[in-house]
Structure formats: structure tokens, C-alpha cells
Amino acid sequence: MIVLYTHPMSPCSQKVRIVLAEKHLEWEGRFVDLPGKENLEPWYLALNPLGVVPTLVEDDKPVIESSIICEYLEDRYPEPALRPADAHERARMRFWMKQVDNKLHPSCGALQWPVVMRDKLLELPEAERNAKIDQVVEKPRRERQRRLLEMGLDAPDVKGAVATYHKFIVDMEAALGEGDWVVGDSFTLADCCLAPYFQTLLQFGWSEMYEKAHPRVTDWYRRVRARPSYQSAVADDFPDHILEELGRKGEEGLEKIRRHLAAP
Ligand SMILES: N[C@@H](CCC(=O)N[C@@H](CS)C(=O)NCC(=O)O)C(=O)O
């Protein structure tokens, strides 16, 4: 049995869940309370020393890092294939995945964390919440969370995050001129890894970031959402009442996002 340690708002977990669904694999979910920082408890660090979700466990062995988990699933369950046969296309697919991990993911964190994670930590006494942030394993993430905790969407990270999102959207618009999916004509791991970052925009009512001027990206995301994998892996966790609540939270940030888009 495959076990996945996950959280519904985690894009990294969503990408693994899309791959699991595309491959029609059975799995059991274990919810990790990220706002409560359960991911930093010793039992979880023993599975994932970086203290982040997702972690996949199969045959009692953990596999960590979402893109590595996606490739692991592809190696272990090759059908239906989510990697192109052609070596150059595979390289392009991996370049997208690497860019997502290195750039889009931290940018999504800078936009999403202040909106959905910050409030719970702010409820704690100052010393306690600072102690929780001090435990975050990786230094760049720890320092980012400290700034976002203090300043929310006014943190300096937010401007760069909006610019990174914009650059991805522009690059995707160009790539999608060559086919229906970001790497040619077949749906690949690159699409699985990009899609969840658009859920973040959708749920906060920030879709104008791509809808206004990027028709191919808009159509691509419509095609992604029409896939049963996206429905079960992502959309089902966002029923109307949750979307309404997230939309309300996102509304407060929309003006700040617009300002950064207008003055990059
Ligand atoms: N490079 C990691 C990043 C994982 C990651 O950042 N996970 C987030 C949720 S999407 C997390 O667990 N955050 C917990 C925290 O920051 O305390 C991966 O791709 O798996």
C-alpha cells in the first residue's frame, strides 16, 4: 500500500496526487497539520528530514521531494506514461520540473503562506510562534517565513514572487504555441507539476494574472481541470464553501498583487 503524507493546500502534494490519479493507483492519505507545524515533530522528521510534505511511503521506505516522488512513481508504474519517449522532450520536461521546484514553488509559498498559514501562528504567544519558526529546517524557508509572519503580503518577497509567476506564465504561453501541453502533444509530469500552482491563483480569485493576456495558458489550465485526475487530486478538496472562504481571504491581497504586476 502507498501512503502519502499530505496537506490539501500543499501544491507539492497536489502534484504527486495528480500523478497517483493519472496512474489509477490506490493510496492512503495521512494529513499533516502544517499550520500547527506537525511537520516539525520528531516522528515526521524521521520520515522526512527536511520537515515538509509530501512524503510517500511504499514497502516501508520513504521517498521525499515531490518531483523525485513523481519520477519514482513513473519508474515504478510506467503505464500510462507521463514521460515523453524522446530524450530531448524528457530533458525539456525535467527543465520545467526543476524550474518549478527552484522558483515557482518558493514564490507560491510567499503568496499563499501569508494568506492561509500565518493567522494560526499569530494566535500563539510571540515567544512560542518564534520558537516554531526557529525549528524550520532549511534556512531560506525559515527566513522567508519569519518575514512573512511579521509583514504578511507586505513582505519584500511578494514582489519577486509575483514577477516569477508572471515570467512562468509568459514562458508557458510561448511553449503552448507548439502543442496542447507544455512539452509537445502529450500530457507529462511537467503539466502535473505546474498545474497546482494555478489552483493557488484560482482559489484566491487571482486568475487575472494569466486570464487577461495569456489565452493559451488559460486554455491549458481549463484542459488540466477537465481531467479526472485534477478533479480527484485537487478540486475535490475545494468545495464551494472553502472556495468562498479562500476567495474572501484572497480579495484582501488582490490590490497588492495588481500593484506588483503593474510595476514589476
Ligand atoms: N522541495 C519540496 C518542497 C516541499 C514543501 O515546501 N512543502 C510545503 C507545503 S507545499 C511544506 O511542507 N511546508 C511546511 C512548512 O513550510 O513549514 C518538495 O518538492 O517536496
Cβ of residue 196 lying under 6 Å from some atom of ligand 1? no
Ligand 1 atom nearest the C-alpha of 65 is 20
Does residue 209 register a pLDDT over 90? yes
Closest residue to atom 6 of ligand 1, CA basis = 52
- For residue range 212-228, list pLDDT tens digits in order: 899 999 999 999 999 99
- For residue range 7-36, list pLDDT tens digits in order: 999 999 999 999 999 999 999 999 999 988
One-character DSSP codes across 89-128: HHHHHHHHHHHIIIIIHHHHHHHHHHHHTHHHHHTS-HHH
The dihedral through the CA atoms of 13, 102, 130, 160 has a sign that is negative
Cβ of residue 10 lying under 6 Å from some atom of ligand 1? yes
Q: Residue 263: its pLDDT value, please?
A: 87
Cell 516501508 locates to 60
- For residue range 173-207, list pLDDT tens digits in order: 999 999 999 998 999 999 999 999 999 999 999 99
- Report CA(66)–ligand 1 centroid distance (Å): 9
| pLDDT, average across residues 61-74 | 98
Residues with Cβ within 8 Å of 38's Cβ and at least 6 positions away in sequence, in order, are 32, 44
pLDDT band at 233 (very low <50, low <70, confident <90, very high): very high
Closest residue to atom 16 of ligand 1, CA basis = 52
Question: Is residue 125 reached through a cis peptide bond, with omega within 30 degrees of 0 on the bond before it?
Answer: no
Give the whole-number percent of the chain exceeding pLDDT 70: 100
Cβ of residue 34 lying under 6 Å from some atom of ligand 1? yes
10, HSE (Cβ side, Cα atoms, 13 Å): 20
Does residue 264 register a pLDDT over 90? no
How far is 206 from 200, CA to CA, in rounded Å? 8
Amino acid in the structure at residue 212: K
Domains in the chain, CATH or no CATH each: 2-76 (3.40.30.10), 87-262 (1.20.1050.10)
- For residue range 235-257, list pLDDT tens digits in order: 999 999 999 999 999 998 999 99
Helix (H, G, I), strand (E, B) or coil at 196: helix
Q: Residue 53: its pLDDT value, please?
A: 98
Q: Residue 184: its pLDDT value, please?
A: 85
| 6 φ, ψ (degrees, to nearest 5) | -150, 170
Closest residue to atom 5 of ligand 1, CA basis = 52
Q: Residue 131: its pLDDT value, please?
A: 94
Q: Residue 252: its pLDDT value, please?
A: 86
